[in-house]
């Protein structure tokens, strides 16, 4: 089987991006985009379809098992993990690879996703004291711990842009876990941040729900965290739940 990769590339510190087309032959139908990139980079001589030399393609990977989120990129225009994208699943003769668009491009397919961590830092989304995880919070806390911080949900979200006030589901998911684990007092300031950076900015279109490569139950966590932060918090203040 043969596929042509159209790869959007950019040299470090260069302004302009350009597309390079590379032909790739493979036999195993389970072969992934990640594996193809590795094989292309291993070639002694890399050439594009016109015979021009091709430099090593820069991209990020670590686990190759859908566990780290490093290899997130646009594959035929859709955000996904290169190690989870099977070549044979694409019915097109050409597969387009490009870096995620919501983050600054460092080089080729590598983007700078540090804004994800900056946003969590701004919300002070961490456990400072002794966690108080109640049994009814186990499921949400576990689900919230599965986030890869890949950024695919932010890529698809119409309301998120880097540096904006809305932090998106890449913040909501880890915060959903921490909200469950914080004691009543410590939770107050995180609830304030949650309302400011997540609750008030989300249009609830749930475009992010189906794109998550970890298949996290974003909708369930969002409902749970909204309840904990808004109406249940209100009931607590008035002596309810
Ligand atoms: S529900 Fe819509 S607005 Fe909210 S994070 Fe998901 S895609 Fe963005
Ligand atoms: S919620 Fe899903 S898509 Fe968003 S950053 Fe976490 S793992 Fe990636
Ligand atoms: S390399 Fe870790 S998720 Fe793809």
For residue 201, the number of C-alpha atoms closer than 13 Å in the C-beta half-sphere is 20
Band the pLDDT of 240: cuts 50, 70, 90. very low
| CA distance from start to end of the chain | 60
Do residue 182 and residue 231 come from a single domain?
Answer: yes
Do residue 127 and residue 203 come from a single domain?
Answer: yes
pLDDT of residue 235 exceeding 70, the answer is: no
- What is the per-residue pLDDT across 143-187, written as a single tens digit (0 to 9) for each? 999 999 999 999 999 999 999 999 999 999 999 999 988 887 888
Q: Is the CB of 109 under 6 A from ligand 1?
A: no
Best residue among 152, 161, 202, 212 to mutate for probing ligand 1's pocket (most ligand atoms within 8 Å of CB) is 202
Q: How many CB atoms lie within 10 A of CB 120?
A: 19
Percent of the chain, pLDDT > 90?
Answer: 81
Mean pLDDT (whole number) for 107-133: 92
Q: Is the CB of 169 under 6 A from ligand 1?
A: yes
Q: How many angstroms does the Cα of residue 34 sit away from the middle of ligand 3?
A: 9
Beta-bridge partners for 22:
5
Predicted pLDDT of residue 95: 98
0.85 surpassed by pTM: yes
d(CA 111, CA 8): 13
- Specify whether the CB–CB gap between 7 and 20 falls below 8 A: yes
Beta-bridge partners for 25:
2
- 201-229 as b/e, with b when 16 or more CB fall inside 10 Å? bbeeeeebbebbbbebbbeebbebbbebb
Domain ranges, residue 69: 2-111
Do residue 16 and residue 95 come from a single domain?
Answer: yes
Residues with CB under 6 A from ligand 2: 69, 147-153, 169-170, 173, 212, 214, 216
Predicted pLDDT of residue 91: 85
Domain count, the chain: 2
Q: How many CB atoms lie within 10 A of CB 59?
A: 22
Q: How many angstroms does the Cα of residue 129 sit away from the middle of ligand 1?
A: 31
Closest ligand 2 atom to residue 79 Cα is: 3
Mean pLDDT (whole number) for 126-134: 82
Band the pLDDT of 232: cuts 50, 70, 90. low
Do residue 89 and residue 142 come from a single domain?
Answer: no
Q: Whose CA is nearest to atom 3 of ligand 2?
A: 212
Residue that is last in its domain, among 95, 111, 127 = 111
Predicted pLDDT of residue 237: 44
Do residue 33 and residue 118 come from a single domain?
Answer: no
Closest ligand 3 atom to residue 61 Cα is: 1
Q: Is the CB of 172 under 6 A from ligand 1?
A: no
pLDDT of residue 241 exceeding 90, the answer is: no
Q: How many angstroms does the Cα of residue 222 sit away from the middle of ligand 1?
A: 10
């Amino acid at each position: 089987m043969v596929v042509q990769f159209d790869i959007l590339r950019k040299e470090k510190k260069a302004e302009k991006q350009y597309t390079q087309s590379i032909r790739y032959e493979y036999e195993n139908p389970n072969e992934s985009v990640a594996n193809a990139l590795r094989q292309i980079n291993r070639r002694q001589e890399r050439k594009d379809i016109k015979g021009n030399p091709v430099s090593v393609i820069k991209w990020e990977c670590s686990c190759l098992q859908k566990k780290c989120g490093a290899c997130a990129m646009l594959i035929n225009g859709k955000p996904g993990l290169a190690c989870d994208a099977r070549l044979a699943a694409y019915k097109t003769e050409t597969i387009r690879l490009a870096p995620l668009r919501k983050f600054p491009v460092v080089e080729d397919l590598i983007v700078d996703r540090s804004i994800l961590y900056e946003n969590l830092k701004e919300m002070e989304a961490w456990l400072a004291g002794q966690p108080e995880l109640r049994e009814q919070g186990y499921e949400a806390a576990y689900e919230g711990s599965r986030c890869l911080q890949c950024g695919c949900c932010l890529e698809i979200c119409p309301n998120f842009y880097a540096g904006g006030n809305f932090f998106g589901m890449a913040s909501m998911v880890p915060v959903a876990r921490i909200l469950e684990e914080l004691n009543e007092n410590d939770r107050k300031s995180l609830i304030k941040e949650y309302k400011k950076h997540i609750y008030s900015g989300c249009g609830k279109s749930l475009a992010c729900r189906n794109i998550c490569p970890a298949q996290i139950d974003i909708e369930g966590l969002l409902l749970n965290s909204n309840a904990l932060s808004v109406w249940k918090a209100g009931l607590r203040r008035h002596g309810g739940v």
